[in-house]
Chains A and B, each alone.
Chain A
Amino acid sequence: GESVGLHLPTLSVQEGDNSIINCAYSNSASDYFIWYKQESGKGPQFIIDIRSNMDKRQGQRVTVLLNKTVKHLSLQIAATQPGDSAVYFCAETHSGNTPLVFGKGTRLSVIA
Chain B
Amino acid sequence: EADIYQTPRYLVIGTGKKITLECSQTMGHDKMYWYQQDPGMELHLIHYSYGVNSTEKGDLSSESTVSRIRTEHFPLTLESARPSHTSQYLCASSEYGGDGTDTQYFGPGTRLTVL
Contact = CB atoms under 8 A, between A and B. Distances in A.
Interface of A: 31-32, 34, 36, 41-46, 49, 51-53, 87, 89, 91, 93, 95-97, 99-100, 102-105, 107
A44 B43 contact: yes
13 contacts: A41-B109, A42-B108, A44-B43, A49-B101, A51-B100, A87-B40, A89-B43, A97-B96, A99-B45, A102-B42, A103-B42, A105-B42, A107-B40
Instruction: Label chain B's interface by main secondary structure.
Output: loop
Contacts of A49: 101, 103
A32 B90 contact: no
Interface of B: 33, 40-43, 45, 48, 58, 90, 92, 94, 96-97, 99-109
B41 A43 contact: no
B109 A43 contact: yes
